[in-house]
Amino acid sequence: MRLADLADLELTYEPRGLTLDGPLPPGFHHLEVERRLGAGDAAYRAASEALMAYAPQRGVGLRPRATAPRAAVGVDVLSRLVFLGVPCRIVWTLETADRTGFGYGTLEGHVESGEEGFLVERRGGEVWAVIRAYARADRWLTRLGGPLTWRLQRVVAVGYLRALQRAVREDG
């Protein structure tokens, strides 16, 4: 699968956009993890910029390639998980003084069906990262994996948080 091929693919799930503020829909496996990244304006800016430039995905070894260097609605992202192509399309973005993030949904050819959202939030003076997802198995491989698949998704989500934490430390 090539990045250029993603433009012709369709999203594989409904409803869309619920990783921003929920509630997460029934009929899917749900995931939500968060971590404090630091405090202050510099930490918020560093985490926000890293997030919108796909640092969480790079930080867990997914090697993302995207149709734009920064997250925006409609951008296609193709990552690699070992030998599997992981095709997604960004379905929402948000950039305010207190919240920055994006969510992407699965395209045809992905092993799951659903959406994953990435947020950096100011909470008082502290900066937090939140990863929220809803997904269901869409291929025999993920159905066969059962609970192991959902554990792997959680491990990857925690890795996203660590990558953002590193980005804040490196910038600070």
Strands (E), the chain: 29-39, 65-66, 76-81, 84-95, 99-106, 112-123, 126-137
Tokens of 90: 């960004």
Is 2 exposed, middle or buried (CB count within 10 Å of its CB: 0-12, 13-18, 19+)? Answer: exposed
**147-19-142 Cα angle (round to 5):** 25
| pLDDT, tens only, 121-140 | 999 999 999 999 999 876 65
* Residue type present at position 64: P
| pLDDT, tens only, 49-104 | 999 999 999 999 999 999 999 999 999 999 987 777 889 999 999 999 999 999 99
At 172, is the pLDDT very low, low, confident or very high (cuts 50, 70, 90)?
A: low
Contact 120, 109 (CB under 8 A): no
Tokens of 60: 């867990």
Peptide bond into 56 cis (omega under 30): no
- Number of C-alpha atoms within 13 angstroms, CB side, residue 71? 28
pTM: 0.93
CA distances from 32 to 7, 75, 110, 131 (A): 29, 24, 21, 6
Strand partners, 33: 131
Cα(165)–Cα(6) distance, rounded to whole angstroms? 30
